[in-house]
Structure 1
Amino acid sequence: MKIAVLLSGGVDSSVALYRLLEEGYTDITAYYLKIWLEDELSFMGTCPWEEDLEYARAVCEAKSIPLKILPLQQEYYDRVVSYTISELKKGRTPSPDIFCNQRVKFGAFYDKVNEQYDKVATGHYGVVEEIEGLTWLRRSPDPVKDQSYFLSHLSQQQIGKIIFPIGSFMKEEVRALAQKYDLPNKDRKDSQGICFLGKIKYSDFVKHYLGEQDGEIRELESGEVLGHHKGFWFHTIGQRQGLGLSNGPWYVTSKDLEKNIIYVSSSKNVLEQNRTVFTVCEPNWISRKPSGDKLTLKLRHGPRLHDCRIKWLDSDRLEVTLDEGDRGIAPGQFAVFYEDDYCLGGARIE
């Protein structure tokens, strides 16, 4: 079996590679995906890509695994970054990591090398299972590291070629394997933040493309001006940090795009702003549609799951009712649905 391994230079993908070797696979080629930001916007912050590539090379050289560098800068911009900018302009909360997986790691990469390999392996936390002729995505047993939320827009064709060698491990087990294998990057910290930004601050990225525009921060209940902001595109519904307001905590509850006004509410009032009912559109189902109306869902990456009911409004839209409200339901972000441990797919919040 010929396997392509996507290697980032981090611990997870490196352990995934060594796991495959330990399991007896020999026809393996590693790929480092070169993305667009490393040259164009490196002036914003420390560029981590040279270090990433150095570690990836060291990991491969230790086991004589060939490493190929695949430039995908234009594909990244066209398929992920332009979407992110467009959503921010519309006042929505984008989920670039979802489309990074769907459109680049398992999209543009497949387009380039698909016919050359039987399987593609990565260091994602998730479990791929074959059941009755369909390929299913199951949550990782590590609830904190589980990445099924970010994998929710994969197609049946895409997921059918995937191997997640560490997907069923806890993070501490992966760290222990890194020590056991004596990986060159065994003590390296996990990367944080959005896939294509590296160490660049998200706010700097947004400022570069959308600029700044002074606007008011108003209390929702009274309309009183509490402070000022630099543009509604820097803020998302449910946000608490980075508002610069006293006598808080304050939470962003809504945005007036035409007037560039951010509305906030204090913690004592925010429970009243919790939403239990919302609509989603353009669902992607990995294996099949839900079999019933009672599901669980994630509104963001992380361990928290909500119990919910769904009602089809038409072929492309659903109404979702949560058993318990959430204050951070923002247009543009994704609701990802589960039956038991299986990720069915996701849809964009309207």
Structure 2
Amino acid sequence: MENQKKRVVVGMSGGVDSAVSALLLKEQGYDVVGVFMKNWDDSAEDSECPAAADYDDVRSVCAKIDIPYYTVNFEHEYWERVFRYFLEEYKRGRTPNPDVLCNKEIKFAAFLDFAKKAGADFLATGHYARLERRNGTTYLKKGLDEGKDQSYFLCMLSQSQIERAMFPIGELQKADVRRIAGEAGLSVAKKKDSTGICFIGERKFKQFLQTYLPANPGDMKTLDGKVVGRHDGLMYYTLGQRRGLDIGGSKGGTGERWFVVRKDMENNILYVSQGAESELLFSRALVMSGMNFISGGEEKPGFDCMAKVRYRQPDQQAHAEKCGEGVYRVEFAEKQRAVTPGQYCVLYDGDACLGGGVVDEVIF
């Protein structure tokens, strides 16, 4: 088969998605090599996603489908290109998304470079996304499983990155991926999906962050200035957050749930509200920087689109207007809840992901 001439390096995580990706490529006649990326040193930590256990699963899968497998260590690159940024954003009181940056800087940069040096024609991963190559340009499209689509996390990839990429399970539903794995006798067929940021695992987020950043406690106030409690440090909270405020029994309260509505970084105050959600949580527009257009071309001055400000959010009608180099103002047809600086705003045209940028300012 023609595909036998093409070598594909598959990023193997130890999960069912990458396992089935490797299996499908092998069945299609490609020369497949499995590679496990180790991006975080969890050897001295009580973590629920230890690399050793995941690597054992990779080894089992690769042996079953009869492909060679290797491991590559990107701990240094991850620390310098992703984790430092992660910490700096939290210091600023923002809420970063390291998974997006990991795809841009590690999986489709450091790892892609590794794959090229290994003689690979393509790099494949288990993302639920699709690619369409048309007239010399590669377009990123949503995965067909709406509940699993991961195009959001790939919004910062460039044309040169995705033209060497493959997403073998992008056309499949998750249930079909598990079925294929089970029929092939893969040991990870029923393995639980990983959630959250892998270097944190199942540990409490606040406890993890305290390991790297000093806490700076301060007052927790209502919008009219009444002190209702103390916060542990603004970096531990995000807009719209309801859990973990520890003020449920505050005197004078209504008994309803509290939620975060604003952070005052200058005065180290966390503002909260109770009951009906405050208008301060709903914004009509945002300004994002570093806008990346995946398929290249000149930046458009203005255009209608659909947008997401968080993963799994339904597409929202919006209009994007250029207001600087790589800077866009995105205005929504309906106000959006808890748009958070540091997160990514991702733009779509139908099922095509145009790209995205980092939310810098929220406009009410």
TM (norm. structure 2) is 0.91
- Comparing 42-51 with 294-303, greater Cα deviation is found at 42-51
1:273 aligned residue: 281
The partner residue of 2:136 within 115, 126, 133 is 133
Deviations 1:18-52, CA, capped at 9 Å, x for gaps: 11112222x1111000122323xx42434522211
1:64-79 aligned at under 5 Å gives the runs: 64-79=66-81
Q: For the residues of structure 1 that align with 2:91 and 2:24, how far apart are their CA atoms?
A: 43
2:59 aligned residue: 57
Contact 1:253 1:265 in 2 (8 A): yes
Q: For the residues of structure 1 that align with 2:287 and 2:343, how far apart are their CA atoms?
A: 12
> Structure 2 stretches of 5 or more lacking a match?
1-5, 249-254
Contact 2:115 2:123 in 1 (8 A): no
1:331 aligned residue: 341
The secondary structure found in structure 1 opposite 2:42 is: helix
The secondary structure found in structure 2 opposite 1:61 is: helix
Q: For the residues of structure 2 that align with 1:83 and 1:103, how far apart are their CA atoms?
A: 11
The partner residue of 2:19 within 14, 21, 44 is 14
Contact 1:212 1:231 in 2 (8 A): yes
Q: For the residues of structure 1 that align with 2:158 and 2:276, how far apart are their CA atoms?
A: 43
The secondary structure found in structure 2 opposite 1:243 is: coil
1:37 aligned residue: 41
Q: For the residues of structure 1 that align with 2:149 and 2:73, how far apart are their CA atoms?
A: 28
The secondary structure found in structure 2 opposite 1:31 is: strand
Matched, 1:24 2:32: no
1:300 aligned residue: 310
The partner residue of 2:8 within 3, 8, 25 is 3
Q: For the residues of structure 1 that align with 2:134 and 2:300, how far apart are their CA atoms?
A: 16
2:227 aligned residue: 225
The partner residue of 1:122 within 102, 106, 125 is 125
1:113-192 aligned at under 5 Å gives the runs: 113-115=115-117, 116-192=119-195
Displacement of 1:168 in angstroms is: 1.4
Displacement of 1:316 in angstroms is: 2.3
Contact 1:143 1:303 in 2 (8 A): no
Contact 2:145 2:174 in 1 (8 A): yes
- Comparing 332-341 with 59-68, greater Cα deviation is found at 59-68
Q: For the residues of structure 1 that align with 2:300 and 2:324, how far apart are their CA atoms?
A: 15
Displacement of 1:75 in angstroms is: 0.4
The secondary structure found in structure 2 opposite 1:233 is: helix
The partner residue of 2:89 within 75, 87, 91 is 87
Q: For the residues of structure 1 that align with 2:47 and 2:197, how far apart are their CA atoms?
A: 14
Q: For the residues of structure 1 that align with 2:105 and 2:207, how far apart are their CA atoms?
A: 24
Q: For the residues of structure 2 that align with 1:47 and 1:178, how far apart are their CA atoms?
A: 21
Q: For the residues of structure 2 that align with 1:217 and 1:84, how far apart are their CA atoms?
A: 25
Q: For the residues of structure 2 that align with 1:295 and 1:45, how far apart are their CA atoms?
A: 40
Q: CA RMSD in A?
A: 1.6
Contact 2:301 2:321 in 1 (8 A): no
Q: For the residues of structure 2 that align with 1:74 and 1:218, how far apart are their CA atoms?
A: 41
1:211 aligned residue: 214
**Distance 1:274-1:122 versus aligned 2 partners, 3 A rule:** same
Contact 1:144 1:303 in 2 (8 A): no
**Distance 1:326-1:205 versus aligned 2 partners, 3 A rule:** same
Displacement of 1:294 in angstroms is: 1.0
**Distance 1:8-1:236 versus aligned 2 partners, 3 A rule:** same
2:321 aligned residue: 311
TM (norm. structure 1) is 0.94
Deviations 1:296-324, CA, capped at 9 Å, x for gaps: 01111114111111121123211111111
> Structure 1 stretches of 5 or more lacking a match?
none
Aligned pair count reads 346
Q: For the residues of structure 2 that align with 1:138 and 1:290, how far apart are their CA atoms?
A: 19
Q: For the residues of structure 1 that align with 2:238 and 2:126, how far apart are their CA atoms?
A: 29
In structure 2, what residue type is equivalent to 1:344?
L
Displacement of 1:236 in angstroms is: 1.1
Displacement of 1:292 in angstroms is: 5.5
Contact 2:217 2:232 in 1 (8 A): yes
Displacement of 1:109 in angstroms is: 0.9
The secondary structure found in structure 2 opposite 1:205 is: helix
Q: For the residues of structure 2 that align with 1:291 and 1:160, how far apart are their CA atoms?
A: 26
**Distance 1:47-1:164 versus aligned 2 partners, 3 A rule:** closer
**Distance 1:203-1:170 versus aligned 2 partners, 3 A rule:** same
